[in-house]
Structure 1
Amino acid sequence: MGKATGFMEIAREEAAERSPGERIKDWNEYVAPFSDEEMKRQGARCMDCGTPFCHTGMEIKGVATGCPINNLIPEWNDLVYRGRWKEALEKLQKTNNFPEFTGRVCPAPCEGGCTLAISDPAVAIKDIERTIIDKGFENGWITPRIPEARTGKRVAVIGSGPAGLAAADQLNQAGHSVTVYERSNRAGGLLTYGIPNMKLEKDIVQRRIDLLEQEEIQIVTNTEVGKDITAEELQNQHDAVILCTGAQKQRDMNIPGRDAKGIHFAMDYLTASTQKLFNEDTQDQYINVEGKDVIVIGGGDTGADCVATALRQKCKSVVQFGKHPQKPLKRTEDNLWPEPPDVYTLDYAYKEAEGEFGKDPRRYSIQTKEFVTDENGALKELHTIQLEKVKDEERGFVHREIPGTEQIWPAQHVFIAIGFEGPEQPVLKHFDVNTTERSCVDAKYGEYTTSVEGVFAAGDARRGQSLIVWAINEGREVAHEVDEYLMGVSYLPS
């Protein structure tokens, strides 16, 4: 490495953020870009590891550590340190089709696997990645790549999220003619409608969509398989079909009062909020919580996005419930490197809520027991009880209610963000593919073939709800398998 002692001399710097009080007044990105000099210093912190873990994606205890798409992280870190930005971009694009997305919304398992993170703050890999790709666009280094020749083979991709777009990008570069079908008004899947604008501005998504179309990928929106076009038509018109429909079946709560007016699924709320920014017709689905008490049930990223959205709509109050205890400030003995650090952090939304209301909106170890309505059937409050995590000899760790900790919370809007149960089933049934016990498409990782000849599956539709980098990983890998299926051999990376 160019700066052999950089990790000992230079501290980690976080990307500058606009102040919480200022940024909740708009829907623009909250993170400010780094300067070239700042990024060079951060690149210099990358150690000359004997065995780097940052670029080797794996799962430990079911959680990703390291980069699932095997980004050449030490190489482009060093090139950034040396100021060789265009070469750094070339290295980055070898493995990642969409660094502008992962550099903004990926939880950065690469940083969890950083060797420096054993004893010090990790290298700022995610910020370096974002800076490289943004500089590539700013300097005009990224231009349409039109394949020199076409194979005559046609591929249909169902779903335009990161898995579908990555597969389409790879197959297009192999010379196949690719058509992506999307049921929504705009391409991008959850990149467009699920992730709020303050985390990922939609012109950045559209910039990539425009580039893919300039490269001769056909993207057909407002087209729902099984309604606007049939599986039979798709199979007759194409030599292969890839199912990348995501895992958008939201997990529900079966407790008294669930049918009250004012209880919504989190993704419905976030989607309609983005549609409103686009000035699209939300068909009366738009939810405005201005002046209302809001409770978000579910402690993950989707719940945090609901908190941030409610703040921008000027809610009266917002609280987020989580079933699990607060995470520790430092790694525990059963969470050692290279596992991703399972520690307390203050997400962008929580900083904003703290700035607006003076405290972190999260409440831990809490269980909702009942929703209560007024005389008109509208939600007015919910009832909770505190939980404790105890070890059961037969079932392992379980959550047990603590008598006497009941509490009543005023609420006119509740957003359920407790995860997803798998893909929506109509498209899968329409293609008549076998599914797993988790309702995902039955297609082996690394092979991606379904029970139907010529039909493949990748991304969340195959693996269940997961990270954007796993979606890109599977999109790239399924492209290799489809290319080999069509041509007998593939030279695409797998």
Structure 2
Amino acid sequence: MAKQPMLKFVELERQMPEKREAKVRSNDFKEIYAEFAAERAAEQSSRCSQCGVPYCQSHCPLHNNIPDWLNLTATGRLREAYELSQATNTFPEICGRICPQDRLCEGNCVIEQSGHGTVTIGSVEKYITDTAWENGWVEPPKPLEERPESVGIIGAGPGGLAAADMLRRAGVQVTVYDRYDRAGGLMTYGIPGFKLEKDVVMRRNKQLEDGGVTFRLDCNVGEHISFEEIRQAHGAVIIATGVYKTRELQAPGVGAKGIVKAIDFLTASNRKSFGDTVPEFEDGTLNAEGKNVVVIGGGDTAMDCVRTSIRQGAKSVKCLYRRDRANMPGSQREVANAEEEGVEFVWLSAPKGFVGEKAVEGVMVQKMRLGAPDASGRQSPEIIEGADYIEKADLVIQALGFEPEDLPKLWGQPELQVTRWGTVKADFLTHETPMEDVYAVGDIQRGASLVVWAIRDGREAAEAILNKFDAARAVAAE
């Protein structure tokens, strides 16, 4: 009788890939986790209970076939595991690295709920596709036929690239327009290398280019080319710009030198990792070396900033967040990593203003307590009167989230409808906007969110466009 390859969660404990020591990893921007060895990946995959109702799958925005590719990994059928993973996820090795699994698939694992420790889904997902790259199983899109229809995609982030991949595999002619000199969006310039090394993103960009996707980089819509020109050149247009406008504090002294935006700080750091010349880094404006750094915010961007500051050689790094640890929006795994690396979290604290004459010298901090729940169900922070103090700071990084740019104004398109939050109004199934053959995906439609949601949106929009093209073909053939 064949030995049962799965359901080994009782006899095998949860185990993550080896994590580099904090003192070592905090000196470079390499990823902090090692790769699983083949034997260990199979072993951890075999812990899956193969649920009749897989909550890991239902809580994944892409509804990845997680139990099935865990089974295939446990039984050594890695190429099939990769093909199954790739069937629902355009970039599984990227999601395996940066998805907050503790809030999504792993956080809803049935054996985690039963006290046995979740299956290490993200690490196995990363292992499967990294193995596929090493063995040459990952190939550029090779359409069975070339189609005459073309699609223009504005934005080379995860949503735009996911749509480009799916459309190109169907034979559609695809052109991607992006304001930056490298494709990838926040995967390239926003997320630090210790979470996502840049060659992982660059090889995907090359794969798409080798598959026939045309990239027009350093191309700012509204400046180098008009939105109307793009519409005229293509049968459909996908808006996938992301959201890059920083939410800024409104407080006394906020305009002082030394108070910077998270996106500027992270972009400068990532450009340095590419070997680019970055004047704002060289002159110290966007460089934490030797400084007392205060990061304001509690999301994943704030975690990226504090951990980047440590690696740049900051004298001290503190993170101010107005709620407590249990109520912060960022990944708890990232908080733990930051603490290991020397970041100090100052909970229940909010900035009241800034002090300093020629440049920032400190943050006026007001202490908070949690009161009644707000509309979201989270307890609202309340000011504790008379508990203010000054936190010393040479560099303050605002990581309070992002908002949409005013695209109708920037692009001279007043008919492009937006919501009251400034996001582009579009159907949440097809992603088509009220403008015919214009679609919107990712953060510019749903607001600042996760890479995995952008991938889902991009794939859904591509499917809707293909259905519309096929319907038009059918009508023309009658």
What's the offset of the Cα at 1:273? 1.0
Pick one of 388, 399, 406 that aligns with 1:417. Answer: 399
Counterpart of 1:401 in structure 2 is 383
What's the offset of the Cα at 1:420? 1.5
CA deviation vs aligned residue, 1:31-89 (integer Å, no higher than 9, x gap): 11111111111101100212111111xxxxxxxxx111111000000011111111111
Question: Is structure 2 residue 309 aligned with structure 1 residue 310?
Answer: yes
Give the aligned residue type for 2:348: S
What's the offset of the Cα at 1:392? 7.3
Counterpart of 1:226 in structure 2 is 222
- Within 2, Cα distance between the matches of 1:134 and 1:483? 30
Q: Could you say what secondary structure the match of 1:101 adopts?
A: helix
Contact 2:95–2:452, Cα closer than 8 Å, also in 1? yes
CA deviation vs aligned residue, 1:237-293 (integer Å, no higher than 9, x gap): 111100000011111100000011000011110001111222324353661221111
Counterpart of 1:180 in structure 2 is 176
Residues 91-100 or 1-10, more deviating: 1-10
Pick one of 349, 361, 371 that aligns with 1:366. Answer: 349
Residues 402-411 or 412-421, more deviating: 402-411
Pick one of 321, 331, 337 that aligns with 1:348. Answer: 337
Contact 1:443–1:450, Cα closer than 8 Å, also in 2? yes
What's the offset of the Cα at 1:403? 2.2
Q: Please, which runs of 5 or more residues in structure 2 have no aligned partner?
A: 474-478
Counterpart of 1:333 in structure 2 is none
What's the offset of the Cα at 1:30? 1.4
TM-score (norm 1): 0.89
Aligned CA-pair RMSD: 2.3
Q: Could you say what secondary structure the match of 1:445 adopts?
A: coil
Instruction: State the identity as a percent.
Output: 39
Question: Is structure 2 residue 101 aligned with structure 1 residue 112?
Answer: no
What's the offset of the Cα at 1:13? 0.3
Contact 1:422–1:464, Cα closer than 8 Å, also in 2? yes
Contact 2:151–2:174, Cα closer than 8 Å, also in 1? yes
- Within 2, Cα distance between the matches of 1:426 and 1:274? 30
What's the offset of the Cα at 1:348? 2.4
Counterpart of 2:17 in structure 1 is 15
Q: Please, which runs of 5 or more residues in structure 1 have no aligned partner?
A: 57-65, 330-339, 354-359
- C-alpha spacing 1:114/1:424, structure 2 compared with 1 (3 Å): farther
CA deviation vs aligned residue, 1:354-400 (integer Å, no higher than 9, x gap): xxxxxx511111111110013xx200111111111112799984321
Pick one of 5, 8, 11 that aligns with 1:6. Answer: 8
Q: Could you say what secondary structure the match of 1:319 adopts?
A: strand
Counterpart of 1:295 in structure 2 is 294
Pick one of 461, 471, 483 that aligns with 2:444. Answer: 461
- C-alpha spacing 1:233/1:451, structure 2 compared with 1 (3 Å): same
What's the offset of the Cα at 1:23? 1.5
- Within 1, Cα distance between the matches of 2:400 and 2:123? 29
Contact 2:148–2:173, Cα closer than 8 Å, also in 1? yes
TM-score (norm 2): 0.92
Give the aligned residue type for 2:239: L
What's the offset of the Cα at 1:349? 2.5
Q: Could you say what secondary structure the match of 1:9 adopts?
A: coil
Contact 2:144–2:170, Cα closer than 8 Å, also in 1? no
Contact 2:429–2:460, Cα closer than 8 Å, also in 1? yes
Contact 1:192–1:202, Cα closer than 8 Å, also in 2? yes
- Within 2, Cα distance between the matches of 1:235 and 1:342? 39
Counterpart of 1:32 in structure 2 is 34
Contact 1:225–1:427, Cα closer than 8 Å, also in 2? no
Pick one of 431, 439, 447 that aligns with 2:422. Answer: 439
Counterpart of 2:60 in structure 1 is 67
The 5-angstrom pairing of residues 47-446 of structure 1 reads 47-56=49-58, 66-108=59-101, 109-120=104-115, 121-284=117-280, 287-327=286-326, 346-353=335-342, 360-374=343-357, 377-391=358-372, 397-425=379-407, 429-432=411-414, 433-446=416-429
What's the offset of the Cα at 1:421? 2.2
Aligned residues: 463
- Within 2, Cα distance between the matches of 1:309 and 1:346? 13
- Within 1, Cα distance between the matches of 2:192 and 2:376? 38
- C-alpha spacing 1:344/1:243, structure 2 compared with 1 (3 Å): closer
Q: Could you say what secondary structure the match of 2:326 adopts?
A: coil
